[in-house]
Amino acid sequence: MHAESRMVQDPQSVIDRIIAAANDLAGEKFELSTPVTSLSGGQSRALMIADTAILSSSPIVLIDEIENAGIDRKKALKLLVTSDKIVLMATHDPLLALMADKRIVIKNGGINHVIYTSEEEKQLLDKLEKMDSLIQTARQELRSGNTLSPDLLSN
C-alpha cells in the first residue's frame, strides 16, 4: 500500500526490493504474503528500515537504539546511509557510535558535548568489529540450532 500511495513507477519491483532488503536485515526471513501482525519485532523493524531506505523521500531518519531490534544493525545503517539518508541515531553500541563521523553526547536531557571520531578510534573500531564478528557468528550458530565449540575462537 505504501508503494502504491507513493505512485512509484513499478510498485511490484519496489516492493520486491524492500522485502529482499528487509530479509537481508532480519534474523529470520519472511514472505510478502506474511501478515504484518505475524512478523517478529526484528522482522517488523527490518521492514520499516528497508521501507524507509528504499521508498521514503525523507532525507533525515531518526532511529532509537537500532541495536535492540534483533536485526543486522551495521547492514541497516549502511542501507540507510547509502540511500542518501542523514541518520541521527541514539545508541549505546560502541561499534555504531564509532562508525559515525561525530557523536553528540547527551547528559541530563541536554547536549553535553560533541565528539569528532578520531583516527585512533577508527583503528579501535577495526578491532571491535573483529570481536563483534565472532559474537555474530556465535549468534547465527545458536539461531540455527547448532552447538558452539572452542573452534569458534580459533577463527
pLDDT tens-place string over residues 84-108: 888 898 988 888 899 889 999 999 9
pLDDT tens-place string over residues 60-74: 999 888 877 778 888
Is 90 exceeded by the pLDDT of residue 3?
no
Domains of the chain by residue range: 2-117
Is 90 exceeded by the pLDDT of residue 115?
yes
User: Cβ neighbours of residue 49 under 8 Å, at least 6 residues apart?
Assistant: 22, 25, 63, 66, 71, 76, 79, 80
User: Cβ neighbours of residue 90 under 8 Å, at least 6 residues apart?
Assistant: 63, 64, 65, 106
Confidence at 151, pLDDT banded by 50, 70, 90: confident
What is the CATH code of the structural domain delimited by 2-117? 3.40.50.300
Whether the Cβ atoms of residue 65 and residue 73 lie closer than 8 Å to each other: no
Q: What global pTM score does this model have?
A: 0.76
pLDDT tens-place string over residues 116-134: 999 999 999 999 999 988 9
Q: How far apart are CA 17 and CA 54, in angstroms?
A: 8
pLDDT tens-place string over residues 17-76: 999 999 999 878 888 888 888 998 889 999 999 999 998 888 999 988 887 777 888 889
